[in-house]
Structure 1
Amino acid sequence: MNFSPKYKFWLMLFTAIIILQLPFISIPFKWLESYFHEISHGLTALLTGGSIVQIQLFPNGAGLCTTRGGSAFFISLMGYGGAILWGSLIFYLASSHRKTAQIFSLLLIGLLASSILLWVRDLLTLFIVVVLLMLVIVQLKYSSQKHLQTLLQLTGLLVLINSLMSPLYLLDGQAKGDGAALANMTFIPEIIWVVIWFSVALFATYRLSKLSLRSTR
């Protein structure tokens, strides 16, 4: 009787991995992880006394957040780190209560809409963020509260898996991106920062699996 609830997390994780391998279907979820990566840079800039100049997203899943002021160290650190936190937070809040899942969806809609109004400056990024906004609105409008929880849990895992794999692309020998920026600031090699992000994402996935198991007892 408990087979399905007990293994629900691993079934969703496997489903998320499969979705990320599918052409076209995986694209919006890669955009979503990229958005969370860039907005994390931006929000960190705001929290450390800086400002967001512009957020850009690209069709291949890359992105760029231009900031002014703030702590360069924490801004660079919290791109991948922030995406891990967002993925974990989405899954955790969706798991806690159906009403919480609804409220979080509304807050996410507000964040995406605010990004369009305040920090999007080009048509391509506008198109991508509008697609993400519509994705969240459709989930909220056409899902029952019960199904909304499952969809948000799956979305959180999709973001988390992307944040687990994305830092590995920094190991291309080009010394570009957040890892290279942190290496220049701290003299700690880029590969160490990649290992840290990868390990944190892996640990977050493990903790969510334990959380999911406890919720079935």
Structure 2
Amino acid sequence: MSVSDVLSSIWGDVSGTQQPLSERGVMLTAAVGALLVAVPVVWGVSRHVVTIAHEGAHGLAALMTGRSLQGIRLHSDTSGLTVSRGKPRGPGMVATAFAGYPGPALVGLGAAFLLGRQHALAVLWLVVLLLALLLLQIRNFFGLYVVAVAGIAVVAVSWWGSGQLQSAAAYVGTWFLLLAAPRPVVELQLQRRRGRARTSDADLLARLTRVPGLIWVIVFLAVTLGCLVVGGRWLLTAT
């Protein structure tokens, strides 16, 4: 089979529709997504996925606002760093700093939109594409490892998994992003109260805009919870 045949086959699958999960299946995937967020031991690992989306959102916002993306680093403690060059102040810098915390929720919302239209495989292949683009910007070994493992896992399900497995994986991933996105915002505010997050996105935004950091935390929380409500409704009504 030629490369063009493979690409044509992938496009046919991506642009087509898949059988949606049953109502019970949707609820089960929601429960799995919740467990990935709620169980501390599991969260220590699954939070890396949130960090990938968080830093990827910073990078995308930087590029979209005309800044020069210098690279992204992901660390074993689930923190990350995105470096870009451009004006130190102004709308571009504000958008770049703001994008991180809403990023995972917005990715989840987009995935929920596609799942509501029975495009589960499109969700998985779009994730593969985004991870491949992100991989080009990673500048440390651990980051390469995390993104590569995530990409290989999604490719394996997309290529060899059954239709039901593909749909279940897409739903679990989407529920996870929607449910997980508010948690780092809450953790951020707890750290800020203890004086341990003076270089956080919220505090950077406060310095850039003179709007208090707490207000930015509230905005982050409102966006992530809003995405959860809307995206969750789409998922629950997709059956």
Tell me the TM-score normalised to structure 2 length: 0.78
Partner of 2:220: 197
Partner of 2:210: 187
Partner of 1:113: 132
Corresponding residue pairs, total: 210
Partner of 2:5: none
1:57 has 2:88 as partner: no
Residue identity matched to 1:86? V
| SS in structure 1 at match of 2:237 | helix
For residues 107 and 148 of structure 2, what CA distance do their matches in structure 1 show?
19
For residues 145 and 23 of structure 1, what CA distance do their matches in structure 2 show?
31
Any idea what the Cα deviations from partners look like across 1:2-51, whole Å, max 9, x if unmatched? xx945655543332121234466445532111111111111111111112
For residues 7 and 200 of structure 1, what CA distance do their matches in structure 2 show?
28
Aligned residues: percent identity?
A: 24
Q: How does 1:7-22 map to 2 (within 5 A)?
A: 9-22=26-39
1:36 has 2:53 as partner: yes
Match of 1:87 among 108, 112, 115: 108
Change (3 A) 1:209 1:125: closer
Per the TM alignment, residue 101 of structure 1 is displaced from its structure 2 partner at its CA by: 2.4
Per the TM alignment, residue 145 of structure 1 is displaced from its structure 2 partner at its CA by: 2.3
Partner of 1:103: 122
Any idea what the Cα deviations from partners look like across 1:48-73, whole Å, max 9, x if unmatched? 11121111111222111111126110
Residue identity matched to 1:136? V
Structure 1 ranges of 4+ moved more than 6 A: none
Assess if the C-alpha contact under 8 Å between 1:54 and 1:121 holds in 2.
yes
Partner of 1:75: 96
Per the TM alignment, residue 164 of structure 1 is displaced from its structure 2 partner at its CA by: 0.8
Change (3 A) 1:9 1:103: closer
Change (3 A) 1:155 1:203: same
Bigger Rg over Cα: 2
How large is the RMSD of aligned CA atoms in angstroms?
2.2
Change (3 A) 1:46 1:22: same
